[in-house]
Amino acid sequence: MKIILLVLIMGFVLYACTGKSQLKNNRSATSHLDHLAHFSPTANADVAAKFSKLYSDLKVGATAENIKSVYAQDIYFNDTFRIITNRDELIQYLTETAEFVNSTTVEILDVAKGSTDYFVKWSMRMNFKVKGKEVDSFSLGVTQLRFNEQGLIVFHQDFWDSSEAFFEHLPLVGRIVKSIKSKL
């Protein structure tokens, strides 16, 4: 067993050392910029009301009716976990997320209007179970939003440290993430 493990590790190291020296394209950043160019500058919107309706308490807010009243059919949504480009997929994703967590609450700390978009600074508390262990997570983030003429969100990009808020709490993966971050 030790020999097999040693061969696998050596193979991985050799593979990593022979890779290209150029960085791969960041599909998230490329997708972000491509979709941003696709949508017109935002119309005026009641950002706090729209955002709070859905996210102030995700267990309550993540309903198909609420999501349809906040997001347009054709969207770009990136919360660092998933990139979604249609409302039906977003409905499925947010309702499944709400079922998975014990609670998720978001408090709006500030809203800023840029030349084309709104930026919402928020704090999020999330409680969920992983392998029978209850996890309380707290994080800060910013969401870039663009609205269409009907006041519906067409562009949603989250900027937050999902590794600290989520991945560090996972068995095995969490230890690896913490180890990598401590060496940066």
Confidence of residue 73 (pLDDT cuts 50, 70, 90): very high
pLDDT value, residue 97: 87
Query: First CA to last CA across the chain, in angstroms?
Result: 32
Q: Structure tokens of 52?
A: 């709070």
Q: Write the pLDDT tens digit of every residue in 7-66.
A: 445 444 444 444 544 444 456 666 666 766 777 776 667 899 989 998 889 889 999 999
Per-domain boundaries in the chain: 24-183
pLDDT value, residue 39: 74
For the ranges 1-10, 115-124, 165-174, the one whose mean pLDDT is highest? 115-124
Q: Nearest Cα to 118, choosing from 66, 45, 32, 68? A: 45
Per-residue pLDDT at 175 exceeds 70: no
pLDDT value, residue 14: 44
CB 113 within 8 A of CB 142: no
CA 174 vs. chain centroid, Å, equals 18
Taking the domain 24-183, which CATH number applies? 3.10.450.50
Choose between 174 and 41: higher pLDDT.
Answer: 41
Q: Write the pLDDT tens digit of every residue in 98-130.
A: 888 888 889 999 999 999 999 999 998 888 787
pLDDT value, residue 182: 58
Per-residue pLDDT at 155 exceeds 60: yes
pLDDT value, residue 93: 93
CB 57 within 8 A of CB 105: yes
Q: Residue 123's beta-bridge partner residues? A: 107, 140
Per-residue pLDDT at 171 exceeds 60: no
**DSSP character string of 90-145:** HHHHHHHHHHHSSEEEEEEEEEEE-SS-EEEEEEEEEEEEETTEEEEEEEEEEEEE
Per-residue pLDDT at 163 exceeds 70: no
pLDDT value, residue 157: 94
Q: Write the pLDDT tens digit of every residue in 78-106.
A: 988 889 999 999 999 999 988 888 888 89
CA 180 vs. chain centroid, Å, equals 21
pLDDT value, residue 172: 54
CA separation, residue 178 to residues 80, 145, 149 (Å): 18, 31, 44
